[in-house]
Structures are given as C-alpha cells and as structure tokens.
Homo-oligomer: A and B are copies of this chain.
Amino acid sequence: MPRHTDRVVPPSPPPRDADPLAPDVWGFADTKFQILPNGNVSLSGRRYALAGLELPELLPWVERVMDIKVPRSGLLESRYPPTVPAAKACDEFRASVALQIGAHYVTQDPLERLRHGHGQTLEEMYRVKHDVLPRVPDVVLFPGSEADVVAIVDAARVHNVCLIPYGGGTNVTDALRCPVEEPRPIASVDLSRMNRIRWVDPTNQLACIEAGAVGRHLQAQLAQLGFTLGHEPDSVEFSTLGGWIATQASGMKKNRYGNIEDIVLDVHAVTPLGVLTRNVVPPRESVGVDARRWMLGSEGTLGIITHAVVRIFPLPEVQRYDAILFPSFERGFEFLQQLTRSRAIPASVRLVDNLQFQLSQTLKPRAEGLQALKRRFEKWVVTRLKHFDPDEMVACTLVYEGSAAEVAHQQRTVERLAAAHGGMRAGAENGRKGYELTFGIAYIRDFVMKLRVMGESFETSVAWSDALELCERVKRRVVLEHAARELPGRPFITCRITQLYQTGVAVYFYLGFGVEGVADPLRAYLEIEHAARDEILAAGGSLSHHHGVGKIRREFLPRTLSPAARAWTKAVKDAVDPQNILAAGNQ
C-alpha cells in the first residue's frame, strides 16, 4: 500500500439497489420499452439517450427485415415469478453463518433465492418469465466484511454446503445457474453490502474498492472526487467490480483505460486455503506465479473476491463523440486497421454493419418541421451526393477522452484516415447515440421477447486477417440453421467490430428470430446459438472475448485448450478447493 500520500475516503456508500427484478427482470422498474396505443414504441425512464422518445419506425422495420408480423397487442406477457423449488435444509449452516453476519443477512425468501439463481442468458430470462428454474440457491447470504466471508467459507467447509458468489447477476454464461445434480445445499454469497470505496489515493492514482461495488455507483462516486475507473462494460449499470474480475471483463473504452486485467493491480480473495493478500501494491512486479492473478477469469470457482486495488484516472479534460459513415463494412474495416496501426486510437471505436446501422436509424423519434427537413437533406447528401448505398453503408462510432492535446492528435489521425477510406463524418449526436445503444440492447432483448422474438448477443475475438470472413460465415450459418428448422420469416443477424487490438479485433453479434407458432422456441434458439459458436471456432475465433466460459461454453473448451491445459485447470481446482466448496461448476 502506498504510504506517503493522503488518502481520500469517500462519503458513505450508496444504498443497495432496490430489487431491480420485477417485472422486467433486467433493469429498474422505471426502465421499460412499451407499445403505445398508437402502435409506436416508447422507452420510459431510461437514463441514456433514448429516454422519453417515441419510436414509430422500429416495429415496421423489424417486420420488414425479419419478414414476420409483430403483434401490437396480445403480447407474450411475463408470468414472473415462476414457482420456486423448495429449499434444501441447511439449518446448522444457516445458524452458524447467522452468528457471524447476523440473522437478518441470511435468508431463504423464495424471491431472493430465485433472483440469485440465474444470470441474464436468453434461456434464463425465458425460463424465469415463462417456465421454471429447476434449481436455485437454498439460502442467500449477505456478508458485510471480509471476516464475514471467511466465516461463510469456514461454515461451508464444516457443514458441507457449497457456495456461489453473486455480484450483479448480469452474466450471460449461465455462471449462476445452480447445478441440478448438486446434492449439497447451495448458498449464494451476495456481495452487495460490500460496496464501499475504501480509499482513493490521488497521488498514485489508485483506489481500493470492495467487490460488490456496482459500476454506475462507482462512476458517480469517483467522479465526485475528480476520477474515473474508465471501465465501462455494457452491463455497467448493474455489474460489479468482483464480477468484472471473475469474468475477465472488457470495457468499451479499453483503448484508453485498459481491460480489467490492466486496471486491477491487486485482488483480495477468500479461498478454501485462506485469504489471498499481499503487503504492497507495486505498479508491476515479478514475484513468481502469483495466486491473486488466478482470480482473473476464475468465474466463482476458486475463491470469493472481497476487494481489489485498481488504478484510476483523472476525469478526462475532453470527452467528445463522433460518428463516421463508410460506404461498406469492408472499407470501414480497413479504416479500423489503419487507425490501430497509427496508435492514435480514441477511447472507444466501433464499427456496426449495415443492418445494425439501419436499426440505429429506427431508434429515432419522428422528426417534425425543420428537423425533418434536416434529416431528409442529410439523407440526400449521403445517398445522392456521396453515392452511399443505403443497403451497404455502415457507421463507425467514436468516443474521444483525454487531454486536449491527446484528443486533437487522435482526431487529426481519424479524419485523415477516414477520408482515405471514403468516410464521411456524421456528427457527435449520432456518435453518442450509437455508443449508448449498447446499454439499451438488453432492454430491447427483453422487450422483443414479448413480441415472440428470441434475441441474444454473443461475441468473439479474432485475428485481423480472419475477421471479415468470420462475420460472413457466422451470418451464413445462422441463415442456414434457421432455414433448416423451418422457422418463421428471416433471422435477424448483425455484427459490429467492437474492440481493436494490435493483432485482431473483438466481434459482437446480435441474433434474433420470430417464434410465433414454434413448438419449442428455446430449443430452436439454443441450437442456433450453438451452431453459431461452432462456426466461430471453425473460422478461427476465440471461445469468448470477455463474456467468459461459465456453463454455456464449457462443452467447447476441448476445441480451444489441449487436454493438458484442461488437466491443469482440474488439478489446480482440486488442489486449492479439495472439497469443491466453490461449486458453481463453471469452466
């Protein structure tokens, strides 16, 4: 720990969120897409760019693209909450834990157990609204300190209970799904009470933060002190520091702030062998094989992360959004590659394909008067004057953050390279909307489920040379699989290049299709997603860029890691958790 610096201790922590669950599962109760009596879609209460807007073009466009009829009424309404399975008895364990952390923080309330028994995969969302979860935790614990967590791990060992750590519940890997075959009681360890920023060290740009701290609260608290973590995953509204570490998360502004492995300098974790700690947090070191690094990507199977020391940054002097149109995905992709080679890369750079560009255009309110005229003029310039094909053109959204000099240097580079690749600036407002659309996509997914459309995202990372073909192959494969099942209409499949690296990119896909009249819509969805992952691996993509393995991609591990690599994973797990206390069963 730094010694000769004045640490700042922020004011009291934010309250724990009110249950963000019902009725839309993901999101606050005030955040909701709905269909108005006039047939338009509106979004209420959202804190990002779309809030309060009425979207007349969304549903007609969906119907056209997917060749299905979307009902304006008679929606598939959620039947949440489903029947919750009975809890296994674990009275002695509960009593033992209650003694340490307080009886109030040990609950078997069915809704709490339900809430802690799933993440945010499509399957989980579908089951929680329209089916059942076959197994959920038998008890939920809310430790308030590292000592509480130590007591919980000890009690679990003594009473033969298994533990699943719980952060924001936002994973999309079935990481929280309780194994049906687990004979022991399962306790969910919810870190939400451990959400404080313990200290901020302005001199060394460090902060010590508890694992349960939620992204959007961290942003607000650090901003009050003039700092930012810079880590902004799509899930930042709900996901936690501990979850980011356990899943090896990536933030949208990683070009400036780094991915979680760059941000985290120290991790404290309670493990079955004891508490992993160190006496200093140096900027970089070589001290052998360091156990704390193993928490990155551990997905709840090796220990319970209690807090971490992270680097923080002064709030950027300048923040600027921009968007650039390109005549085709290929031209935009070439621009990205040149921009990466220039090393003058803005904080966030993303390239959406034509379909996703069209989607973003439908997420606009009806324009009136001057606004409508302006929009028509812009369209005329793009399509008639610049000869961009509306069915080919794509958009790159950019977020600049940094000092005035840094941003100016990046902007000059972007403008020069964009011009060289046929790009045309589309303005800051489009850039901001494009960036913020990401935060809304989970809400859209939940909304379209009501319209009997199954939708989900998945991602990969891939070398530059293989990226374009991978995108094409995955799209083709989805269309083929959809057709083979004689599902209604056409599938919605779109991608964006969402992260840039020296040696390759991350690619994000959105998939959706109508299931009106389909006998087993969930099975159809799971089979197609599985096929898409198969195609990704065959095309040279990774198993996951940042979502992780969890249980949803476990079966693909043999295609990525050699038998010895998997034997190592198992040997290490058996060695450090011989009783399999941390039995989430991920990886």
Asked whether B285 lies within 8 Å of A545 as measured between CB atoms, the reply is yes
Binary CB contact string for chain A from 341 to 353 against chain B (1 if under 8 A, 0 otherwise): 1111000000000
The answer to whether A259 has its CB under 8 Å from any CB of chain B is yes
Nearest B-chain residue to A342, judged by Cβ: B403
Is there contact, CB below 8 Å, between B282 and A462?
yes
Contact status B461-A560, CB under 8 Å: no
Query: Which chain B residues lie closer than 8 Å to A343 at the CB level?
Result: 402-403, 406
On whether A297 and B289 interact (CB within 8 A), knowing A280-B560, A406-B343, A571-B575, the answer reads yes
Given contacts A2-B465, A568-B294, contact A560 B279 (CB under 8 A): yes
At the interface with chain B, which of A133-141, A199-207, A516-524? Answer: A199-207
- For the complex, what is the distance from the CA of A574 to the CA of B572, rounded to whole Å? 9
* Contact between chains at B559 and A279 (CB < 8 Å): yes
With A463-B2, A562-B274 in contact, is A298–B287 under 8 Å at CB? no
Task: Report the nearest B residue to A571, measured CB to CB.
Answer: B575
Stretch at the interface among A51-59, A178-186, A389-397, A500-508: A500-508
Do B280 and A503 touch (CB < 8 A)? no
Instruction: With a 10 A CB-CB cut-off, give which of A201, A247, A562, A576 has the most chain B CB atoms.
Output: A562
A409 within 8 A of B: yes
Q: Are A562 and B277 in contact (CB under 8 A)?
A: yes
Q: Give A286's nearest chain B residue, CB to CB.
A: B248
| Chain B neighbourhood of A299, CB < 8 A | 288
Known interface pairs A285-B544, A469-B4; A291-B569 also in contact (CB < 8 Å) = yes
Contacts A297-B288, A503-B205, A561-B290 given: A273-B465 contact, CB under 8 Å? no
Query: If the complex has contacts A278-B565, A297-B288, are A465 and B3 also in contact, measured as CB distance less than 8 A?
Result: yes
Interface 1/0s, chain A 3-42, versus B by CB < 8 A? 1110000000000000000000000000000000000000
| B-chain residues with CB within 8 Å of residue A298 when the two chains form the complex | 288-289
Chain B proximity of A83: nearest CB distance (Å): 33
Residues from chain B with a CB closer than 8 A to the CB of A250 are 284, 286
Contact A540 B403 (CB under 8 A): no
Check if B290 sits within 8 Å of A297, measured CB to CB. Answer: yes
Interface residues of A in 232-291 (CB under 8 A from B): 247-250, 259, 265, 271, 273-291
Cβ-closest chain B residue relative to A574: B575
A265: which of B203, B503, B560 is its contact (CB, 8 Å)? B503
Among A206, A271, A560: residue with most chain B CB under 10 A: A560
Determine how many copies of this chain the complex contains.
Answer: 2
Binds B, one of A358-366, A444-452, A546-554: A546-554
Q: Which residues of B contact A313 (CB under 8 A)?
A: 502
A568 touching B286, Cβ below 8 Å: no
Q: What residues of B have a CB within 8 angstroms of the CB of A542 in the complex?
A: 280, 282, 285, 287
A564 sits at the interface (CB 8 A) = yes
Q: Is A414 an interface residue (CB 8 A)?
A: no
Q: Residues of B contacting A206 with CB < 8 Å? A: 463, 503
Minimal beta-carbon separation of A1 from chain B (angstroms) = 7
Does A543 sit at the interface, judged by CB under 8 A? yes
Instruction: State whether B291 touches A2 (Cβ < 8 A).
Output: no
The reply to whether A464 and B204 contact each other, CB–CB distance below 8 Å, is yes
Specify which chain B residues have a CB less than 8 angstroms from the CB of A291 in the assembled complex.
Answer: 561, 564-565, 568-569, 572
By the criterion CB–CB under 8 Å, are A204 and B465 in contact? yes
Say whether A147 faces chain B, with CB atoms less than 8 Å apart.
no
Beta-carbon contact of B282 and A461 below 8 Å: yes
Residues on B with C-beta less than 8 A from A560 are: 278-280, 287
Chain B residues with Cβ below 8 Å from A279 are: 537, 559-560
Instruction: Looking at the assembled complex, report how far the CB atom of A309 sits from the nearest CB atom of chain B, in whole angstroms.
Output: 9
Does A320 make an interface contact (CB < 8 A)? no
Is there contact, CB below 8 Å, between B544 and A287?
A: yes
A212 lies within 8 A of chain B by Cβ: no
Would you call A425 an interface residue if the criterion is a C-beta within 8 Å of the partner chain's C-beta atoms? no
Q: Give the residue among A280, A311, A560, A571 with the most B Cβ atoms within 10 A.
A: A280
Pick the contact of A549 from B280, B287, B543 — CB < 8 Å?
Answer: B287
* In the complex, A370 has a CB within 8 A of chain B: no
Nearest-neighbour CB distance to chain B for A396, whole angstroms, equals 19
Asked if A494 is at the interface of the complex by the 8 Å CB criterion, the answer is no
Chain B residues whose C-beta falls within 8 Å of the C-beta of A289 in the assembled complex: 294, 296-298, 301-302, 569, 572, 587
Beta-carbon contacts of A299-315 to B below 8 Å, as 1s and 0s? 10110000000010110
With an 8 A cutoff between CB atoms, is A466 at the interface?
yes
Q: Which residues of B contact A548 (CB under 8 A)?
A: 286-288
Given contacts A291-B561, A294-B568, 18 further A-B contacts (CB under 8 A): A2-B464, A4-B469, A201-B465, A204-B463, A206-B463, A273-B571, A276-B564, A278-B561, A283-B463, A287-B543, A287-B548, A289-B294, A289-B569, A289-B587, A291-B568, A291-B572, A314-B341, A343-B402
Contact sample, A vs B, 27 pairs, CB 8 Å cutoff = A2-B466, A201-B465, A206-B463, A274-B564, A275-B562, A276-B568, A278-B562, A280-B462, A282-B460, A283-B503, A283-B504, A283-B505, A284-B501, A285-B544, A287-B548, A287-B557, A288-B299, A288-B549, A288-B557, A288-B587, A289-B296, A289-B301, A290-B561, A311-B502, A311-B503, A571-B575, A575-B575
Q: Which 4 A-B pairs have the closest CB atoms?
A: A274-B564, A283-B501, A282-B542, A291-B568
